[in-house]
Amino acid sequence: MFKAKAYAAQSTTSKILPHQIERRSPRPDDVVIEIAYCGVCHSDIHTARGEWGPTAYPCVPGHEIVGKVTEAGKKVKRFKVGDLVGVGCFVDSCGKCASCKSNEQQFCEGHTVFTYNSTELDGKTPTYGGYSSHITVKDKYVLKIKKGLALDRVAPLLCAGITTYSPLKRYGTKKGSKVGVVGLGGLGHMAVKIAKAMGAEVTVFSTSPNKEQDAKKLGAKNFIITSDLKNFAAVSGKLDLIIDTVSAKHDFSPYMGTLKIGGTHVLVGAAPEPNQVAAMALIYGRKRLAGSLIGGIKETQEMLDFCAKKKVLADIELITAPQINDAYERTVKGQVKYRFVIDAKSF
């Protein structure tokens, strides 16, 4: 075991403050990573504040991690000291169930070991995330990062990137596809960039008129202000797919009207309370309402390689660890373009 610097929440109402944690010494199949940057995901806030069910304190959030390997176990062949690597939303799984064998470890039927607020496979040892100086991870759950990229802008790809890439790929986004993106925040801006890179025509739905210029710069062709239902008519029956990133309660029905026959509305944002949809909005046009959860290791590596090739990186604001609490408040208010990333040198 070794000590690592970290920032943690101690209760549902506490600030994120300096804390010291223990990381395990590397086992034969582990790598030790010196963290360079860690993104601030909205789920970090929900978890730290106990809004998504029970949180185990102290809680060290962070699952958008990039850094370099400082030590590798004797059985590790994929990585060597000095390699640039990433760690996403989970760090282990049973490896034996149907989901794991099909490279969808996020749906492990045994025990997905999430990067923080979870336990190791032993069911007892707590996991701590990327708001820290170092992390030790089994090599099979570590991802390769290409050299030459801005690492701080790569970090959010480990959650926001894969969360939006996975449904875009699954539902066949290609050149000529028409994709709607609901919400232009951390997830939404990545959905716009990735859909555009796949060749799609993108429409952004937002409650904020002042985001139109940014939406167009990011690659959107159309911008719909959702506060007036009449505005939806401009894209009625035109979209193949909608990626809904909003984590607040809203009615899905108006968006259903913008889908083509057989179109799909995919939820990647999770509101704390139930949303609503009119049954007829689904029945007429054989529409589908679906959900999507991050992606497995294989697909996450594919996403990283795609983004490197297409030069798709997150738009970020770099902060130091003492600024985390202010960043949380600004994230809740939507006052960031479009992802906070912590410089780990400040832990």
pLDDT at 258 over 80: yes
Give yes or no: residues 10 and 34 share one domain: yes
Residue range of the domain that includes 218? 160-291
- One domain for residues 79 and 149: yes
Whether 12 and 145 share a structural domain: yes
Q: Are residues 126 and 186 in the same domain?
A: no
**What's the rounded Cα separation, in Å, for the pair 281 and 234?**
17
User: At residue 51, does pLDDT exceed 90?
Assistant: no
pLDDT of residue 234: 95
Amino acid found at 142: V
- Structure tokens that stand for 120 in this block: 């190791």
Question: In this structure, are residues 246 and 165 in contact, taking their beta carbons and an 8 Å threshold?
Answer: no
Same domain assignment for residues 147 and 44: yes
pLDDT of 21 higher than 90: yes
Assigned domain for 301 exists: no
pLDDT digits (tens, 9 = 90+) for 185-209: 999 999 999 999 999 999 999 999 9
Residue 303, token pair as written in the block? 């996403």
Q: Are 246 and 151 within one domain?
A: no
pLDDT tens by residue, 131-155: 999 999 999 999 999 999 999 999 9
Rama region for 222: left / alpha / beta (φ>0; ψ in -120 to 50; rest) = beta
Residue 331 to residue 248: CA distance in whole angstroms: 13
Clarify whether residues 173 and 205 are in a common domain. Answer: yes
pLDDT surpasses 80 at 272: no
CATH of the domain at 184: 3.40.50.720
Residue 304 counted as domain residue: no
Q: Please check whether residues 168 and 90 belong to one and the same domain.
A: no
Look at residue 92 and tell me if it is in a domain.
Answer: yes
Do the beta carbons of residue 281 and residue 303 sit within 8 Å? no
Is residue 303 included in any domain, yes or no?
no
pLDDT at 93: 98
Closest to 62 measured CA to CA, from 39, 46, 80, 30: 39
pLDDT at 271: 80
Q: For residue 117, is it within any domain?
A: yes
Nearest Cα neighbor of 194 from 313, 337, 341 is 313
Instruction: Let me know: does 154 contact 86? Beta carbons within 8 Å.
Output: yes
pLDDT tens readout for residues 65-95: 999 999 999 999 999 999 999 999 999 999 9
The structural domain count of the chain equals: 2
pLDDT the model gives residue 64: 98
Q: What is the CATH number of the domain that holds 49?
A: 3.90.180.10
